[in-house]
Amino acid sequence: MNAAWHRIFRAIYRKEPISSFVLTVGAVDAALGGLGGSGSLLVFGLGTVGAAMALRWWQIQRHENRQPETAAPEYALPPSRASQPLPRLHPSSRNRPPLA
């Protein structure tokens, strides 16, 4: 189970490092505030977790609303060279490996 959690958290953290960091900081603050009896730290931690979740939700919504842009096709050669035919290759008999 530990390896599965590690892979899940690593994938989420790499996808959105800023919102994941803020979420982690808020969760730690909430845990310390709840266990230590500090109500203000608990409220601050829960607020930070809520803000991180709202930030992540806003980023997801913004990403879904984007229209895919049609990119111009990319060519390996510039247009002036594309009209010329490629040179023919003539292998010489001296450089051929012997047939076994």
Tell me which of 35 and 63 has the higher pLDDT: 35
Q: Does residue 14 surpass a pLDDT of 80?
A: no
pTM of the model: 0.53
Does 93 reside within a domain? Answer: no
DSSP 93: G
Q: What is the predicted pLDDT for the residue at 47?
A: 93
The lowest-confidence range among 1-5, 38-42, 45-49, 81-85 is: 81-85
Burial class (CB in 10 A: 0-12, 13-18, 19+), 24: middle
Does 22 reside within a domain? Answer: yes
Does 23 reside within a domain? Answer: yes
Name the percent of the chain lying above pLDDT 90: 7
Q: Tell me which residue range forms the domain holding 53.
A: 17-65
Does 28 reside within a domain? Answer: yes
Does 47 reside within a domain? Answer: yes
Does 36 reside within a domain? Answer: yes
Secondary structure (H, E, C), 87-98: CCCCCCHHHCCC
Query: Number of folded domains in the chain?
Result: 1
Contact between residue 40 and residue 57 where contact means Cβ atoms under 8 Å apart: no
Both structure tokens of 86: 């490629």
Does 7 reside within a domain? Answer: no
Contact between residue 26 and residue 47 where contact means Cβ atoms under 8 Å apart: yes
